[in-house]
Every structure is written in C-alpha cells, then in structure tokens.
Structure 1
C-alpha cells in the first residue's frame, strides 16, 4: 500500500462562526461536515499508511515551527501528521471552534503546511495532499504566490482549495453581494491553484457529494497463483499448462459487525473500554450426578453432525480418513456448451483468471483458450485447490472478451445437494381432476390483461435514448452505508442524534416522479383489464387482534347456542366457555373474573395430573389467556396469573415437583408479556427472560 499524508488547513477565524447564504449553521460547522467525513473514512480503514494532520489558522494562539517570524502568527498545529486514532479524533471537535480574532493569512498557513509536509515525508515516497478550507474574508499577502506554487510542484504535493460560498461557474454557484476583499482573495487562491496544478472548488459542491456514497478503490490481491492445466503435463506432451493468477471480480462487502465491550472503572487510566471475552462451559447429561448434568472439558467432546434429528459423532481419526489429500492447482475437467449453464448453478462471488504478470507466453496461451471458448460458444468446468490439503472447488470458467481486456470469469458451481427442486402447477393452463386441460379460466390471464401488463412493464423503462436512470454503477447498499455513516458520525458527535438521510440517499427507495407520471396511463389500463377493485375494510371488533366476520349464510350459529350472560366457567369445557365469556362483554371486571376462573381451573388440572397427563391442556389454556389478554391490551392480568403459577409450582403446592411443567412453559414461549410485545406492559425484556428461570 502506498503511504498517504493529508493535511487539512482550516480557517478558524471569528467570521467562520457566522451564518451565511440562508444556512441555519455557521460556516465552520457546515464546512466541518466535509472534514469529518474524510477523516472518519480514514480512521475506519485502520491503515497505518494513511496519515492525517490538521492546521488551524485565525486561531487565538500561535503554535507552529515558523512562529518566530511575525508573518506566521495566529497559526496553530492542532494535529501533527500521523495515523489518527479514536483518542485524537475525539479531541479535535473541541479544538475546531471559531476564535475571537479575524487576524489571519491563508497563504501563510499554506506555507506552514508545506513546511510540515516536507519535514514529515522527507525523501520517502508519499502521496501528499494539502486541503485548504476558508471563507477568504481576511487579508492575503500575495507576494509569495508564485514561489509557493513552485514548492507544491517541486515537492509533489497536491493542493485542494475548498472555499465557502466561492463562485464556481462550472458547478453553477455564485454568491450575491460579495465583498471586494473576498472577491480579490478568491482570485489570488485561484491563481495559486492554477499555478500549482491543484483543485479549486466551492464547498457547496463538496458538501453535495457527501450524500453520495463513495466508491472505494481496492488494490487487487491475487487469491491464487499457479498453473491452469488441461491434462497431465508431467506425463503427456500434449497437455496444456498456463501460468495464471486469480483475482476477485465481484465480492460481497458486508457492514461492520459489533463487538462486545465493557465500560471500565473511570478511575483507571487510558482507555475506558475493555473487550469482553467469552468463557464456554460444556455439560452432558448424567443421571448419577447432582442436577442430572456433569461438567466436561472441551477436549473430551467429539464433533457431532446432524443427520435428520440424530447427532452422529465422528472422531478426529475418522475425519482424517475422509479428508482428501489434495495439492494446490487448477485443472480443467471438461467443456460444455454455454446454453447448458443455468443461472441457478452459479453461487457466491465471481473471480477472474488472467495470465501471470510479465509472462508473454502465458498471455498468448490463455488468449488462445479464451478466444477458442468464445468462438465455440462454450465454457470450461474447472477444479481449483487453493493450497495443499484444502477442499477442492468446482468452478465454471467463461470467456470474457473486450477490445482492450480479456480473461476467464470464474463462478463457483453448486453441488446437487445445494439445488432444491419444487413442483408447481402450470401458470398458462388449468388441469382438472380428470386430466382435462383448460386454457380459459378465471385464474388464467386474458389476452387483454397480458397486453396491458406488457405495456405497463415497457412504460417503466429507465432507459431514455442514450441515458439510463438509476444505472447499476450508481446504486449502493443502504444497509452498509447507513451503518458505516452512523459509526462515523457517532465517533465525532458522541451525544447528538444521528442525522436524517439525505435526499440523494433516499432517491433509490422510491420510484422517480417522472416515471410515475409516465406510467399513469398504462397503469390505469392494466387496472381496468385486471378488474381490480378496492377491498372494503374489514369490520373491526372491539379488541386489537380480533375481527368480527359475518357467516356467508347470514346465520350466526354461535348466537343460537351461546348462553346469555355467562358468568361461570365449567372445568369440563373451560377454554371455549372462557372465550365465549370474553366475547359477551367488554367490562374489564368481567374479564378479570374470567381470567381468575380459568387460572384456578388450570391449577386444579395440574394438581390432579397423573405425571404430565394434563400438561398439554394447561399449556393450551395459558396460551389462550395470553392471546386474549394481548387483545384487550391488559398484559398485567396474564403476568399476574403466571407469577402466581410459578410461585405455587416452585413451592410444590400443585402436586409435588412440577418443574418439568415450567420447562415446557419456557419452551412454548408462554413467558411474561414484556413491553417489546405490548407497550402497555411494565415488564422489560431482560426482566421477562430472567423470570423464566426457576431461580429468577
């Protein structure tokens, strides 16, 4: 990896604390959005070769190597050039504040930055960049512009000037009523950038670009170096052997995962976080031991593999027998027509196979193979072993030919066990029980519907002439960039709320307005052809989770057989009568009485149960109470029933030791109703989980 050193030269004068151009935040806060994004991106990589420094000018104090000269006052080195870590990052916000003075010279600050860069990098090979951020309202001594520009060219330093409210005709931004001083300063800085071959722009463009996730270039690293063979070159002269290298073509980038940390005692020095280490204990069933289990060491365990619901143990010696003794290499097993390759056969990431760097003979040989496959419309099936004794991978090698580049695209093939076959009835015809085939049926689309759907799909085309909207190269992973953005923001702003997503970020989550207008006519014709009708809203019952449905016959059998004003529940038909009792009234007192009655019946079933004979009835009854109480949004009623039941079970008041029933209650997830299930509950998820332990 090349070493990189970037210096941010930031204007911290008093005027940077003012608000301009209708913004609700100060110029400095606005500009720091760009700075934090770039610095946190660097910190996120964790690379030691990416080094950052920060220089503030217009500061109340002076702290730099050239401070003996009066021309370099009010310039402070806030962060020397080094790998920046979290402690340094979190210290920067307190230092990047507007000062109490407007006395500063941006050109002097740039000279200090060039001096810092030269001393740090010396003669070592670095990619060097100085980024200047200013509103250019202070004085600038332009006597040294040409000499400073030559320093940038001579030392190979890239200069980037981002001005707050700078005019930029190419971007389309112009500040109205600009002061003559700022106008002159912009010209001086533009001259410096042009002479040094740098980049000059307005901060508005840089801020707008922040809402679009950056494509991060990745240095290609070979995942295999060796010979691509067809046949056995050790025994046959006709065999083919080409020196090749394998690189990733596409790879899934996953968002960063969280690790467990514990907060240290505040009295301890340095870091206040400590990594959490896991300690594993293994237990096996042992009827002769106390509690029915016995602790064992990890070395005493054997690997078990699931076969259906049975665990099959395989010892290490048996595993060695089944392990293939392989040697690193890439072999072509054969060739097949490309038409025989189905998309479902391809799994995982894709790679590309290219000739060994600097090997002209290998390049010519691989090119011949690629063009042979391309012209014959064929692909190769390969067997890859990345290193000795590793598992072989069966791959598909497809020719890729462009004007200035060619290679073999590698995809991993599925095993037969990876393919799931499902049978579905045909969608273009209906088969009757007798085997008769119907081509006209209410479940089959008419020609009018097919034509309307085809027109609607065509109207949603994102290609207009030579331009394509929402092209694949501009899309990005919302999950990846949302999590990374939250981490980066929280690293700098430890107490502020995470900001809302930008409009550009949200653009891919909804259909463009122009496209909606474009498809309105086709959509209306499709709705008419499909005879789409709005479904009338269902009649809601008085409870949250229950809906009243009217029988198709119009005759409600329940009304005919329901006992009016039921107040007692019979143990012989407890659960149906409990439901009926709740349906008859919305009086909370009656609901409480019904719950208490059924709870008493459940406890009586447990008391009279011979072994676990009544346990299924008890579990069903608990489930019904829980379901109905959730509908009434009165979780405290169910939680009270469960607490009372646990108390009596643990005390042995319901027929002796019934702890096995509590285990079944836990397995069937009939625990306390926590506030993550019902907002009306006063029980947290942690307390609910603790309660389900017999000791909780």
Structure 2
C-alpha cells in the first residue's frame, strides 16, 4: 500500500548571480542542478507516487499561467505537476542553461504556489505540499506580495524549504568584504542585494515555519538513494493474558532487511520483451522420460527409501492453529540472550488506535516490565494454520511514546550447542601460561576499544553523540547499485562510473575514530610484536639421495631408471605384482596396475578405482575420508588423459553428480569442483565429446543442494549406489 503522496514545486534560479563562483569551485547553478537531480533520482528509484513541478525564473522567455503584461515575467513553468521520470531527469541535467536575465524570486514563488494550489485541488495528497526554492538570492525582488505569500502558504498548508546560501553565517567569521571563507580558501563576497534577499527569506521562513539549508548541507544529505516509502500496515491482534484479559494491539514492522532490487531477464534485441521460464519433470532413467506435475508427489527420506506423501497427507500432518498472541509468562531480561533473537524483522506493538482502555492497560504492562527488569514470553500465530512462533516482548519507553518490541526466539531444536575451549583470559592463567596475555597487552587492548567507541564521538564543538546511527547509515551495496543503475539508464553505452566518494566513506571508520586510535594501534604493535617464522629446510628424500648418484660401483648413467609416476620411485623397488586396487593406498595401487607391462590393465584398473571411490565415500566417518576420494578421482582423470580415454572419466564423473544429487550428497560434488575436478573437454583431449561450453554448463548447473549433518552422512548405505558401475 503506497504511502501518502506529496506535491512538490521546485523553483530554480537561473539568473546571472547563480553562475558566479570563485575559481576552482562549482557555481550555485551547478550545485542546485546536482541537488535537484538527486531529489529526482530518489523519487524515481523509490517508485514514488509524489508529483513534482519545475519552475525556472531568470529565463529569457516567459511561460506561466499568471503572466500578464509586465507582471511575472521571465518565469517559465518547465514541467507541470506530475510523476518524475527520466525525461525530467535528462532535462535537468542537459537542458537547463544559465541566463544573464534577473527575475524576482518572490514572483516565482507566487507562480509556484498558484500552480500547487490549482493542480492539487480535488486530489488527495496526504503527504502535504512543499515548495523548494533554489537560489543564491542575488537578484532583485519586490516585497509587496510578501503578506499574500505568507497567507497563501498557511491557508494551503504548503511547507517552504530554501536551499542556497548559509543563512546562519556568523558575521564574525566573515572578512572585510562580507564573504565567508570557503573550504578551499576562496570566498565569494556577498552583495548588498544578496544580503537584502537573505533578510527577506529569513523573515518569510519565520512566518511560515519553513527551513533553510546551504548547498554544503543539502548535497551530502541528498546523495543517498532512498527506498520506496509505504504506508505501514499493522498486524492487529489481542494480547491474551490468562483466560479473561485481552489487550487490543497493533504491530508494526520496525526493522527489516532491505533487499536489493531484483534483475529481470529480457530479450537482448528487445529490452521490453521479458523472458519467461518453463519447468518440466523427468524420470531419472536413460530416456529421461517426461512426466506431468500432477503425477509427482512429495516425499520424505527414511534411510534410503523415499516415503511419498499426498497433498491430503501433508495437509493433515500440519499442526492446526488459530491466530493468537498469547502471553505464556515472564522472565528476567538477562535470561534472554541477544544471540537468541531470530526472524527477519523486529516489530513494535502499540495499543490499537482510539482504544483508550487498551492504551492504559498496555502502558501499565510496559512500565511494570521496565521497573522489574523483565520481559514477556509470548506465543504468536500470524494467521490460522500458520506455524506457531515463540517470541519475547521487551519494554521501550521514550519521552513521546511507549511500546513493546517483539523479537522471535528459538525453540530447543533451533539452538546449536557448541563447546569451545577456554581462552587464557587472566594473566598467569594455568590453562596456557605460554599464551596468557600480560598486563600491558590487556591494557593496550582496553585502550584501543575505548578509543574506537562509536557511541561517544563528537562533531567539532558539538556534544558527543553516537556514530553510524541506523537512521543515518545507508547500505553501501545498495547505494552503489542505485548509482550504477541511474548511470546506465542515462548513459547506456558508457562504462560504469567510479565509486562515489560519499559511498566510499561508508567503507571506512570515522575520521575522528581513526585519529583517536592511532597511538593505541602503535602501542598494540609494540606489545604484540610479530616475528618472521623461518621455514624449516625440507628433509632430504630418498629420491634426491639416489638421483644422479652411482649405486655401488655402477656409474649413474648405467643405473636403472626410476619411473616418475604418481606411485613414486621408491615404490618401484617393491617387486610384488599389484593385481587389485585396495582402499588403503588406492592411488598407488592404481598407478602400479597401469605400469604393468605384461598386459593392458587400464580398463580393469579404472573399474576397480571407481568402485573404491564409492566405498571410501560411503564408508567415511563423517567427512574424514572425502579428501582421499578426491585424490582418487584426480588420479582417474590424469590417467584418462594420458591414455587418451576421456570418456572413462567423463562417464564416471557425470554419473557421480547424478548419484550425489539423488542421495542428497551434493556437498561432495561441490568439494570435487573446489578441488579442481571437471569434465575433460575437447580442447584438453580431442577424443572428448564435450565442448568447453558444455563442460562449463555442466559444472554450473543449478541443482538443489541439501546438506546433511555428519551423523546422517555416516548412516548412508552404499549397497545400491552406482550399481551400473
């Protein structure tokens, strides 16, 4: 449900004074254009229903509804009230040109006010009406209509914002010319006309309770993209206390993770043609027989057997519930730990609107919880036949309101019990004296934490306040995404822009924190010295000892050559003929069989190694033997390449993926991918029937992965796995 929309009239000065600026700085017109662009971007990306009108004054031409004779001249209604779009955005960026003609900003405000009133009549604008003036106030003006503007704004309930010079400049900070120093050392003197305009605007703002901002204040505040505002929809319920007491409540989502806008697939030759997705179901047989969705059923695994459940079974199996919000009891706040909070949002519960009795009862409950330092445990069912949730209600009291915060908390099955070894927290701990921190190390770390405390930062001479407040901190990922979307929409053929400095600042600690902690970081380096660990020399191997050296009296050139296979040279000294690939040293046995000169053992050795791989996987205690299986598959792939038989490995690896999917062990296929295993393509071996693209598609195939606990992996049975092998 859309939030109450707002009607906004933007009044922009394009006169000569807006094009004057000190060397090396942006002109007021450029800054105003940037600010208006940011306002429009916010509205467009938020899919806002707010309507915006653009009025320019100081234009060579005149185009407005009030122009008559010599009145309201050089004022142009560039865009009537309507939804903002990219056409308006392009107009602001490319078509607004500076002028050498000065116009009356009071007349321009009258034109904007008249346009707002006429074009909002009979329409619902629950967000109100707003007039935003962008001007350095350097042009001439007449104050004979000032009272009419004040009365008209009050009567039409129009809010006034002025963005331009800093109206709160301290006179003592200005130089002899009446100019306040700029950040880069340059300054622009204020003319007498500009000072008169500022005095007029100050009076006007005081009469209509408006607000003013300088460009230096407005631009950073407008640099962030905002999401669409929606009208909050409450979840209405009764808090049930016992059998006879109920409090009518309304719950509103207070905090929820903001998702990035989703990308849609479209046909490249026609970006307006969206691509649809179709799904079909096939049997896991040689013909991949297609079946209708109606002929399929869901099932749960019971050992190696799938137990089917019909839709009626699933419906009857579910817990029958009714909507409720029932109090189960109270507990001390310390008993509910922060890491117990679950769910994807936090809700605020207040009394239902216009229910005074509920408000009094809820206020009593909130204050009682606060005074006793307790929280309430509740059972929540959002709607009939939905899952029951367990939650905690915490009191929240502010000067202007009271409410209860709701967080979901876990059931016993949701909690993971992990046991970790203790750390030597105290100096001289008997647990591990060698690594126990000293007093200087503990003190240095304490000082670093204190210096980087975000809850006690100050801005200049202002009082200490919290840094990175949630309501003032935007997600840099979303901001960067919106920045790129806006750029590509306006410049589809250009590369993506550089990261905005304002967004980049979010990825860094506050400058004040960096300054405060610098000495403590240096102290930390001093008390926690880092030493370079010298790598131990490798032990001399048997191969290096005998290589290129004579054996007895036989010269090196006459000694027997040792094979460089994966088995290793010293293994060749063993004269026992290997006839079977075992599970103890499968890779060594496999290579030994392949080296036999008396007969071709390639096909038989590969079959035996494939069987051993499955035996290792299914007999593994948890994931303990999985690395050995990966090494076996690497050996199988290497041998297939050497013997120009890629089909042997490709067939096994393809079947391996299917069986891992069937037995819900796709974690093993992911492990194989991470180990560098992949199908052999025809670029590696011409005998392969797989192209490089086909291999990439096979490895990137999006299949459903279901990770099981180590105990479940141990119980899997290998009797019927890969029977075809």
Cα 1:622/1:11, change in 2 over 3 Å: farther
Residue 467 of structure 1 aligns to a residue whose secondary structure is coil
Residue 221 of structure 1 aligns to a residue whose secondary structure is coil
Please give the alpha-carbon distance, in whole angstroms, between the structure 2 residues aligned to 1:440 and 1:99.
74
Matching of residue 353 in structure 1 with residue 360 in structure 2: no
Aligned counterpart, 2:386? 390
> C-alpha displacement at 1:318, in angstroms?
0.9
Alpha-carbon contact 2:444-2:523 (below 8 Å) kept:
yes
Aligned counterpart, 2:565? 574
> C-alpha displacement at 1:5, in angstroms?
0.3
Please give the alpha-carbon distance, in whole angstroms, between the structure 2 residues aligned to 1:429 and 1:99.
68
What TM-score, normalized by structure 1, do the two folds share?
Answer: 0.72
Aligned counterpart, 1:229? 240
Please give the alpha-carbon distance, in whole angstroms, between the structure 2 residues aligned to 1:455 and 1:685.
57
> C-alpha displacement at 1:243, in angstroms?
1.9
Please give the alpha-carbon distance, in whole angstroms, between the structure 1 residues aligned to 2:205 and 2:601.
86
Please give the alpha-carbon distance, in whole angstroms, between the structure 1 residues aligned to 2:323 and 2:605.
65
Cα 1:400/1:76, change in 2 over 3 Å: closer
Aligned counterpart, 1:209? 221
Q: Which of 655, 677, 696 is 1:689 aligned to?
A: 696
**How do residues 136-147 of structure 1 correspond to structure 2 at under 5 angstroms?**
136-147=137-148
Please give the alpha-carbon distance, in whole angstroms, between the structure 1 residues aligned to 2:421 and 2:406.
35
Aligned counterpart, 1:340? 335
Pairwise CA RMSD: 4.7
Please give the alpha-carbon distance, in whole angstroms, between the structure 2 residues aligned to 1:691 and 1:227.
54
Please give the alpha-carbon distance, in whole angstroms, between the structure 1 residues aligned to 2:360 and 2:325.
18
Q: Which of 393, 399, 408 is 2:395 aligned to?
A: 399
> C-alpha displacement at 1:263, in angstroms?
4.0
Please give the alpha-carbon distance, in whole angstroms, between the structure 2 residues aligned to 1:390 and 1:692.
38
> C-alpha displacement at 1:425, in angstroms?
2.0
Aligned counterpart, 2:707? none
Matching of residue 551 in structure 1 with residue 566 in structure 2: no
Give aligned pairs, total: 602
Aligned counterpart, 1:102? 101
Please give the alpha-carbon distance, in whole angstroms, between the structure 2 residues aligned to 1:500 and 1:577.
53
**How do residues 393-432 of structure 1 correspond to structure 2 at under 5 angstroms?**
393-402=389-398, 405-428=401-424
Alpha-carbon contact 1:61-1:76 (below 8 Å) kept:
yes
Aligned counterpart, 1:295? 290
> C-alpha displacement at 1:138, in angstroms?
4.6
Cα 1:131/1:550, change in 2 over 3 Å: same
Cα 1:210/1:257, change in 2 over 3 Å: same
**How do residues 502-513 of structure 1 correspond to structure 2 at under 5 angstroms?**
505-512=503-510
Alpha-carbon contact 1:102-1:138 (below 8 Å) kept:
no
> C-alpha displacement at 1:117, in angstroms?
1.0
Please give the alpha-carbon distance, in whole angstroms, between the structure 2 residues aligned to 1:401 and 1:97.
50
Of stretches 416-425 and 357-366 in structure 1, the one that deviates more from structure 2 is 357-366
Aligned counterpart, 1:259? 264
Please give the alpha-carbon distance, in whole angstroms, between the structure 1 residues aligned to 2:296 and 2:24.
65
> C-alpha displacement at 1:336, in angstroms?
3.1
Please give the alpha-carbon distance, in whole angstroms, between the structure 1 residues aligned to 2:13 and 2:94.
12
Q: Deviations over 1:434-455 (max 9, x none)?
A: xxx9445213334554344334
Alpha-carbon contact 1:28-1:98 (below 8 Å) kept:
no
Alpha-carbon contact 1:305-1:311 (below 8 Å) kept:
yes
Aligned counterpart, 1:282? 281
Please give the alpha-carbon distance, in whole angstroms, between the structure 2 residues aligned to 1:250 and 1:100.
48
Residue 509 of structure 1 aligns to a residue whose secondary structure is coil
Cα 1:307/1:401, change in 2 over 3 Å: farther
**How do residues 72-91 of structure 1 correspond to structure 2 at under 5 angstroms?**
72-86=72-86, 88-91=87-90
Please give the alpha-carbon distance, in whole angstroms, between the structure 1 residues aligned to 2:16 and 2:96.
9
Cα 1:613/1:500, change in 2 over 3 Å: same
Please give the alpha-carbon distance, in whole angstroms, between the structure 1 residues aligned to 2:496 and 2:93.
19
Matching of residue 129 in structure 1 with residue 115 in structure 2: no
Alpha-carbon contact 1:247-1:353 (below 8 Å) kept:
yes
Gaps of 5+ in 1: 233-238, 266-271, 431-436, 539-548, 579-597, 628-640, 675-683
Residue 417 of structure 1 aligns to a residue whose secondary structure is helix
Aligned counterpart, 1:479? 477
What TM-score, normalized by structure 2, do the two folds share?
Answer: 0.69
> C-alpha displacement at 1:120, in angstroms?
0.4
Residue 233 of structure 2 aligns to a residue whose secondary structure is coil
Alpha-carbon contact 2:476-2:507 (below 8 Å) kept:
no
Aligned counterpart, 1:681? none
Please give the alpha-carbon distance, in whole angstroms, between the structure 2 residues aligned to 1:186 and 1:373.
52
Alpha-carbon contact 1:60-1:99 (below 8 Å) kept:
no
Residue 279 of structure 2 aligns to a residue whose secondary structure is coil
Q: Which of 189, 199, 220 is 1:177 aligned to?
A: 189
Residue 293 of structure 1 aligns to a residue whose secondary structure is coil
Please give the alpha-carbon distance, in whole angstroms, between the structure 1 residues aligned to 2:696 and 2:380.
48
> C-alpha displacement at 1:302, in angstroms?
1.7
Alpha-carbon contact 1:131-1:162 (below 8 Å) kept:
yes
Q: Which of 431, 436, 443 is 2:435 aligned to?
A: 443
Cα 1:309/1:210, change in 2 over 3 Å: farther
> C-alpha displacement at 1:692, in angstroms?
7.2
Alpha-carbon contact 1:255-1:484 (below 8 Å) kept:
no
Q: Deviations over 1:495-532 (max 9, x none)?
A: 566555565554453345554554455445544444x2
> C-alpha displacement at 1:13, in angstroms?
4.9
Please give the alpha-carbon distance, in whole angstroms, between the structure 2 residues aligned to 1:149 and 1:34.
26
